[in-house]
Structure 1
């Protein structure tokens, strides 16, 4: 086995089977060598600057997250990652700041649904969580998910909406944090109503 591929393989195996051009070049391996490894079927070009090992199952969530540092898993996808929904999402919901150019990502990943929010509110409630395959992902916390559900109620699947709202208020909840977020999104009164009815 050639040493360039061995180096790439070792790096990728420590990174959920995915590696970027930047990481490969930092190890002293040229783009020409990368191209050769793709042609030999040892590497798979997943998208611009992102590669995977051909013999490994790729974590779709991590692949999507690598496309932009500002992608945060949200809405139904975040509910699934938090265990608040048992429905595996066919459409992946992510949120980015308004004004971000995501046209290339949309072209490469048609199953992604983008939500846009002001830059001031974009990072509210970001945390990390493990994907089903173990990769670290950026996701909104449960309180931010509930706020997004209430704000986007008309666009939500009602079964998913009801299940998540009921589960959140009946089991664990952080009322102070939820109301704080609600105030920032202008939905504090709606949240208080849910708390009175469901808590």
Structure 2
């Protein structure tokens, strides 16, 4: 192996936190470098097609990075999005991801996932892209997440939806216009109406 390319791969891994074969190919480096560096103990294979540096300084959001890299076109939603936005005391065991209703169910075994199928505006609206550990991670914004909590209240519990609404309003993290906007998109206007009216 070329030592200059080895160093380039290790530098890329440290800068990004997570490295995939396609990241190397974009730099004109063969993916075989990943396997060889893993055998030498310089990289850790943390999942299928995902490598991390041995001395990686993982953040609290590392599981979100790994999950979204393994499930393409996924968006962090519901309990995991609430956790990211620091609105809930819940610490979900699973990573909650939204994927398009027509997408194939991911066959991920290494990370516990809770997949939610969405479509249309409910899937496409309210997406923010955050750079976590050098990787782009798509996460629903807070008012969209609150509306989703009411839409999926049978999955997560109405108490969590109400907590999310109260905390986001109390901390002035959402406006009434934003909450109504996403309530309409998620088709939960009638469900949320009495709770929204009680805030004003």
After TM superposition, the score normalised by the length of structure 2 is 0.85
Equivalence for 1:191: 192
1:134 to partner: Cα distance: 7.6
CA deviation vs aligned residue, 1:68-95 (integer Å, no higher than 9, x gap): 4421111111111111113332221111
**Cα distance change of structure 1 residues 48 and 56 upon mapping to structure 2, 3 Å threshold:** same
Please list every run of 5 or more consecutive structure 2 residues that lacks an aligned counterpart in the other structure.
none
Equivalence for 1:180: 181
Equivalence for 1:31: 31
Query: What is the rounded CA distance, in whole Å, between the counterparts of 1:197 and 1:114 in structure 2?
Result: 32
Please list every run of 5 or more consecutive structure 1 residues that lacks an aligned counterpart in the other structure.
none
Query: What is the rounded CA distance, in whole Å, between the counterparts of 1:32 and 1:198 in structure 2?
Result: 58
Equivalence for 2:168: 168
**Cα distance change of structure 1 residues 135 and 20 upon mapping to structure 2, 3 Å threshold:** closer
> Does the residue aligned with 2:73 lie in a helix, a strand or coil?
coil
Cα RMSD after superposing both structures:
2.3
Equivalence for 2:126: 125
1:108 to partner: Cα distance: 3.1
Query: What is the rounded CA distance, in whole Å, between the counterparts of 2:151 and 2:158 in structure 1?
Result: 13
8 Å CA contact 1:85–1:164 kept in 2: the answer is yes
1:57 to partner: Cα distance: 4.1
After TM superposition, the score normalised by the length of structure 1 is 0.85
Equivalence for 2:155: 155
Query: What is the rounded CA distance, in whole Å, between the counterparts of 1:86 and 1:134 in structure 2?
Result: 26
2:76 matches 1:73: yes
Equivalence for 1:13: 14
Equivalence for 1:97: 100
2:39 matches 1:2: no
Equivalence for 2:56: 56
Question: Where do 4+ consecutive residues of structure 1 move more than 4 Å?
Answer: 133-136
